[in-house]
A and B are shown apart, each in its own frame.
Chain A
Amino acid sequence: MQIPHEYGAHEARLPEPVDPNMINAPIPLGTRLDLYRLQQQMRQFEKRAYDLFLQNLVKGTSHLSIGMEAIAAGVGQAMRADDYTFATYRGHAHTLARGVPMGPVLAELLGRSNGLLAGKGGSMHLTSVERGVMGSYAIIGAQLCIACGSAWSAQFRGTDQITVAFMGDGATNIGAFHEALNFAAVFRLPVVFVCENNLYMEYTSIFDVTAVEHPAADRASAYGLDRIVVDGNDADAVYMAASSAISKARQGGGPSLIEATTYRHGGHSRADPGKYRPDGEVAAWLDRDPIPMYHQRLLTLGVSEADLDQVQRDVADEVEAATVFAKGGAPPQADTALTDVWADGGSSWRN
């Protein structure tokens, strides 16, 4: 066994061109405008979160999904309000996609008492049961098995709620991924697994440690599922794939596994400059930024520049208001850390 390539000099994986037919997908214009707004919200929110790191206001590390917004937006838009989402630690966009308001999310990143979880969760554990966000999971793969349980519960209760569970490409190599897929397939659970394949785990290319080319899709057949690979940088493509998987699940047709190919513009976490990636690769993917592409598509579809501008400005105002809200929150009291370990609300041993 020899080192296959110099550090960071591995073969660049370039994006596929945009599918020219996607503009003709049967998606109402109103839905497309929602997809545009969602992507704007995710992008502008995360840019602000990054600025706040630089000002040292964010507690702990944080993982941004700038460049990957089309996936969370496309999937979120295809979901119903009472469906369930299981997010990853790279989960700001997964959370915003369910309509969780920005202010409490940002305050949570800052570790403030007015945060979504009163400062108890932080960036990696965003949760909003009210909006069906059943948590963000920092232990790779854990959410996939838990999602089987929430899907089971919906099936058991006879509702037609479905569950979406996000994961990264790296998660496809841990046992939990395979356990969850088999479990979901055997019991025909109403769950849609969405793999955000951004080509890297933390600092290592997924291709260096995975037996197949498409870490999720090429495993689907092992569980009797269809092989689905979509352009994760095209919100319409994601929306179409998610809609069809979701309606299949809702109608009792069982689980799906969607692999969405994408790229993160920045590093793994805030401290990471992402130098292990070939320059040409980064440049090519920056060029395939999902948001300007979608902007252009809407113009082609006849939406005016002024209308899109307005969306951007509305979102900017929303981010501004969220920032004021978050910065205005007090740090949590020390003793709130001692609450809610146990069902009686406390942290002492129950006896």
Chain B
Amino acid sequence: MTTMAMNAAIRSAIDVMMERDDNVVVFGEDIGYFGGVFRCTEGLQAKYGSERVFDAPIAEGGIVGAAVGMGAYGLRPVIEIQFADYVYPGLDQLISEAARLRYRSSAEFTAPLTVRMPCGGGIHGGQTHSQSPESLFTHVCGLITVIPSNPYDAKGLLIASIEDDDPVIFLEPKRLYNGPFDGHHDKPVVPWAGHPLGEVPDGYYRVELGSAAIRRPGDDLTVLAYGTMVYVAEAAAEETGIDAEIIDLRTLLPLDTDTIEASVAKTGRCVIVHEATRTSGFGAELSATVQELCFYHLEAPIERVTGWDTPYPHAQEWDYFPGPARVGAAYRRVIAA
């Protein structure tokens, strides 16, 4: 076991997989010499050489496309899109090609690539460095969407993603790289050291895709959250004194509906929290799923707490960001209903 930040855990996962499987190759913008803007690939080029770890030109379509071809012909590319906000020029390759290769070739071809990308706000990035585009991916049949909330999960999920035979979108909430963040932006940064999930096994282990984790057991209501919002949900539970059961979904697709159903059947109440904009956000899918699975257990309407239906604001970041006050207020409404 080693105490690690989340970016170090990601690096460790790639390192473990490069060691185990010669077919794992890593590329992206500034990821070679420099080691990545968030340091997630630091030292890997020196260790594995520039044949397996290399800098790409600024060309997201080209990066994703090349990874699709590598994947179809035996390699396991792990590519970095420097910020999720830059993935759009590569979306065509992801949606039209990576996601459908298996289906249209009757499973003769697959694209086992992993696309890592930092997402989410809280770093004053404004509209082009803060987005949470997860629902664009979950809407595409054929893409797996993963979003860890801590170093332990990040490493185990990334290993499982690299080993998976389908294309995986691996979203890394950038505000969590250096520590858990509960939305109290005026308080000092809390490092991962000291957090139980900052303890990371040194070698190989998997966290299975499609398994959620209960971060806080409780009886009053169920909270469905992922990424940074897990810590906001915890802070809101503490601050309101409401006995919330907080579920960290960890993968959005495949979705662990068993864990969700069991929890809502127990509590009868559900609040969904995400940082992404509200309309057609992943919360809508979650809400529909809970309704389908748990309708007769529900004692209150399901609530969603989300980012606003606006581009991510530059100056009003903390108004947009669904912090503990907004989440706590939703808990109270759902309890009172």
Contacts and interface: CB of A to CB of B under 8 A. Distances in A.
B310 to A, nearest CB: 5
B58 A174 contact: yes
- Dominant secondary structure of chain B at its interface with chain A: loop
Interface string A61-101: 10000000000000000000000000000000000000000
Given A170-B58, A337-B316, A8 B49 contact: no
A208 B50 CA distance: 12
A122 B314 contact: yes
Most buried by A among B29, B33, B86, B320: B33
A124 B126 contact: yes
B211 to A, nearest CB: 35
A278 interface: no
A171 B57 CA distance: 9
A187 interface: no
Nearest to A10: B33
Nearest to A209: B57
Contacts of A247: none
A175 B61 contact: yes
B76 to A, nearest CB: 18
B56 A209 contact: yes
Interface residues of A, number: 45
A349 B58 contact: no
B89 A174 contact: yes
Interface in B92-110: none
B29 A202 contact: yes
Contact of B49 (A2, A119, A332, A347): A2
B51 A1 contact: yes
B168 to A, nearest CB: 24
A120 B314 contact: yes
Interface bracket on B: 35 or more
A120 B56 contact: no
A8 to B, nearest CB: 7
A16 to B, nearest CB: 25
B208 to A, nearest CB: 35
B125 A171 contact: no
Given A138-B128, A203-B30, A208 B85 contact: no
B59 A119 contact: no
Contact of A347 (B32, B62, B124, B310): B310
Interface string B140-151: 000000000000
B316 A336 contact: yes
Contacts of B128: 124, 138-139
B56 A125 contact: no
B285 interface: no
Contact of A202 (B30, B61, B125): B30
Given A111-B314, A122-B314, A203-B30, A349 B85 contact: no
B57 A337 contact: no
A59 to B, nearest CB: 5
Contacts of A141: 58, 89
16 contacts: A3-B46, A120-B313, A125-B127, A138-B128, A170-B57, A171-B58, A173-B57, A175-B61, A175-B62, A203-B33, A204-B32, A276-B34, A331-B315, A337-B310, A337-B313, A348-B309
Interface of A: 1-4, 7-8, 59-61, 111-112, 119-122, 124-125, 138-141, 170-171, 173-176, 201-204, 208-210, 276, 331-332, 334, 336-338, 341, 347-349
Given A122-B315, A174-B57, A341-B309, 7 more contacts: A2-B49, A7-B34, A121-B126, A139-B86, A209-B55, A336-B316, A348-B309
